Chains A and B, each alone.
Chain A
Amino acid sequence: MIDIAVVDYGMGNLRSVAKALEHVAPELDVRITDSAQDIRDAARVVFPGQGAMPDCMRELDARGLRSAVLQAANSKPFLGICLGLQMLLDFSEEGNIEGLGLFSGKVEKFHSPAMVDEQGNRLKVPHMGWNQVEQTMKHPLWQGVTQGSRFYFVHSYYVVPTDISIVAGETKYPTSFACAVAKDNIFAVQFHPEKSQIAGLTLLSNFVLWEGGSAITKLRKVA
């Protein structure tokens, strides 16, 4: 029995994710895998991703993993990270490509003209570094994570879900965007918990205990 399957579809470095999971749960069997059967058998699934979304979608399909990932996302504790969040939406501006469509909405680019801070300085893209996450929903994965904690980001695109009630966290760069979404057994984040020191390790240790779902109460309305 695999406790946690880390989905390997050839996009990016999965060692960091696996090492962080092993660190918070040394007793669990954490497996980096490209096997659909492993994903079906695992108790929990982590869906990471780096690089460009068209490549991610192509590689996922080339390995025949789409249906196993969709099935996991509909049935067991599922954590999307970075591109593993973006791929859950309908559509991405990056390569104008369709995503997995688990969430209605799209993935947009940080457009240069808008990338100016309050002092008029130009903001860099990719959005790279430690930024604050405002938790907009009470959720088991935020347990023990201080409101406004900083997490490590590196990305040039961000998600815009149609249904704002699934937004679990927001970050400003320079305007607010959804950096975490949650629904039923899915929790997906734009930042990298595996690289976010204590805040990230706390979130991951919550994930390995999470049974999915639970009562989720909104803390405040998302604008």
Chain B
Amino acid sequence: MGLAKRIIPCLDVTNGRVVKGVNFVGLRDAGDPVEIARRYDEQGADELTFLDITASSDNRGMILHIIESVASQVFIPLTVGGGVRRVDDVRDLLNAGADKVSINTSAVTNPQLVKDAADRFGSQCIVVAIDAKRSTDASGYTWEVFTHGGRNATGLDALEWGEKMEALGAGEILLTSMDRDGTRSGFDLEITRQFSDNLRIPIIASGGVGNLQHLVDGILQGRADAVLAASIFHYGEYTVNDAKGFLATQGIEVRL
């Protein structure tokens, strides 16, 4: 008896639709966000994460509308990220019904945003999303933080960055391996484990899930507190319930 490991379906949303790409490019339509959110809730999803990948700021209102609609029908925690630049953006998303707001690029360009948002709304609702990519140096592998949906290198070491975000008030880290995202070859377990072992706040592993064993590996080997996946659920290969059933057979505590 204890805290369950969480399974979090992720919905990448643009122009009012859920889409999914490979390595951040090549988007495929996966359906209506409200309908998909309801389906995952019925299947036993522990939380839902929405990433607004709309490039233009003209369509910002659309994600607020979607979140309002989901929040009046689905009573599990909702995290929303994408294009969050100001404390007011955080406020607008929370008011629309988000429980947590995920900050990625703006945490790099303006780390004070993380502190200001955590001070104002509480650490419990501030998630910092980190897109990390492997590179090699003389000492072996390192991981670098990328921003703008994976396009821009920052020169920041991912683990040091994660520790800094924890110190500034982040309540949780969403760690995405850019090398693995969309490849269906499993999480980057090494960087996940480093984050889990070195940070005191919960870590959500993301990027690369292609089967249910990958979820188990993220938890048992990567020691993640939660695992996030998109395509294995979107196209009906597995339900969230299938995933939980499999995790339970591997001795992992889940909410059934």
Contact = CB atoms under 8 A, between A and B. Distances in A.
A196 B75 contact: yes
Contacts of A22: 72
Interface in B39-65: 41, 46
B239 to A, nearest CB: 16
A50 B255 contact: no
Contacts of B96: 15
A148 interface: yes
Instruction: Pick the most buried of B6, B76, B97: most chain A CB atoms within 10 A of its CB.
Output: B76
B147 interface: no
B141 to A, nearest CB: 24
A109 interface: no
Contacts, number: 103
Contact of A50 (B98, B124, B202): B124
Nearest to B1: A132
A20 B75 contact: yes
A112 B200 contact: yes
A124 interface: yes
Grouping DSSP codes into helix (H, G, I), strand (E, B) and loop, the A interface class, with mixed when no group exceeds half, is mixed
Interface in A1-41: 12-13, 15-16, 19-20, 22-23
A201 interface: yes
B122 A51 contact: yes
Given A13-B95, A15-B71, A16-B99, A152 B121 contact: no
B26 interface: no
Nearest to B199: A124
Contact of A129 (B75, B97, B122, B225): B225
A172 B96 CA distance: 33
A19 B223 contact: no
Instruction: Pick the most buried of A19, A117, A121: most chain B CB atoms within 10 A of its CB.
Output: A19
B71 A129 contact: no
A19 B70 CA distance: 11
Contacts of B75: 16, 19-20, 23, 194-197, 200-201
Q: How large is the interface on B (under 10, 10 to 19, 20 to 34, 35 or more residues)?
A: 35 or more
B225 A19 contact: no
Interface string B222-248: 010110000000000000000000000
B2 interface: yes
Interface string B88-123: 000000111111000000000000000000000111
B208 interface: no
Contacts of A150: 4, 255
A22 B68 CA distance: 14
Q: A-B pairs with the 8 shortest C-beta distances?
A: A51-B122, A130-B255, A13-B94, A130-B4, A154-B124, A150-B255, A124-B202, A131-B3
Interface of A: 12-13, 15-16, 19-20, 22-23, 50-52, 112, 117, 121-132, 148, 150, 152-155, 172-174, 194-197, 200-201
21 contacts: A12-B122, A15-B97, A16-B97, A19-B97, A20-B75, A23-B72, A50-B122, A51-B121, A112-B200, A122-B200, A124-B200, A124-B225, A126-B123, A128-B225, A129-B5, A129-B46, A130-B46, A154-B77, A173-B3, A195-B75, A201-B75
